[in-house]
Amino acid sequence: MAGSKFRPDRGLTARMVMTMVLLFLVYVAFVVGLVLAGLNVVLVLVLVVAFALFSYFSSDKIAMFAMGAKEVTPEQAPDLHAMVDRLCAMADMSKPRVGIADTDVPNAFATGHNEKSAVICVTTGLTRRLDGPELEAVVAHELSHIAHRDVMVMTIAGFLGIVAGFLTQAGLRFAMFAGAGGRGNNNGPAPAVVALLVVVVSAVAWILSFLLTRALSRYRELAADRAAAYLTGRPSMLGSALSKITGDMARIPTRDLRQAEPFNAFFFAPAFAKKGFSMNQLIATHPPVEQRLAQLSDISRQLGRGA
């Protein structure tokens, strides 16, 4: 992917490096905190490593399964494959696997921990709503995530949150079962106290990893919009697709949107999004639609001036 013709984004690269460094520090503090809380160091390391490996190597399969998506061959989806082939040739990048999810939620996503496992997926709801150039712009947006390697970073960054969330829930259940007033033996604190300490450490780690990955997620969407707009030379098509998708989200049954919401960070557009700036934007997976459209309008003016 190093030779990709997608425009390099130093801001994205710097943010990915910073996020990984900060998450590593959170990871170390997380492990130390669990050990100090009373958990066995070997058990903690085994648990964290197991979750990390599972999340890293199975991210593409988990996402495809959860969305009900299936990989398709060029014979099954010739137009979509031809579009991906054309864009990959333009970007000078290897072609990822191609999938389709049979859902009316109009969206697309890319996932995978490396080039070989990368997959780009579109929903049937998206292909029904967008014209050819609009769909091409969305596909270019998703391909840029693979070329910039931010999909891999998001996959790695997400595993700590998964571990921390799991331990938080497990600790709460154990604390309730053991009882806050339980007594330990002479060699250590009560089991309920240990469980509550695990909950506190895990909750802090989850909050920090959550905020770091959300901040990176918002920036990477803007970076992918820019990269796709410059590659295709038609930022207006990406803006049109974004307007159509966000406008039609309101017509999708809430139940379907709720099922898709856990994967917002990987989607082209979030299943739920509030307009304008609010405190919710600090924890949002995507920047406001207005900000994305304004950026695309600026790129259109630049291309119009031959910049």
- Laid out side by side, the sheet with 108-111 consists of 69-71, 97-101, 119-123, 108-111
The reply, when asked if residue 145 is annotated as ligand binding, is yes
The token pair at 103 is: 């859902």
Please, what's the b/e burial string for 121-144 (b: 16 or more CB within 10 A of its CB; e: otherwise)?
A: bbbebbbebbeeebbbbbbbbbbb
Q: Comparing C-alpha atoms, which of 255, 265, 215, 245 is closest to residue 63?
A: 265
Q: How far is CA 140 from CA 134, 245, 251, in A?
A: 10, 16, 26
Burial class (CB in 10 A: 0-12, 13-18, 19+), 81: middle
Report the greatest alpha carbon distance in the chain: 77
Q: Binding site annotation covers 75? A: no
Dist CA 8 CA 16 (whole Å): 13
Instruction: Give catalytic status of residue 142 as yes or no.
Output: yes
Catalytic site residue from 71, 115, 136, 142: 142
Residue 261 assigned to a binding site: no
Neighbours of 94 (CB within 10 A): 14
**Which amino acids are annotated as binding site, given as ranges?**
141, 145, 221
User: Which residues are catalytic, by number?
Assistant: 142
Which positions make up the binding site for Zn(2+)?
A: 141, 145, 221
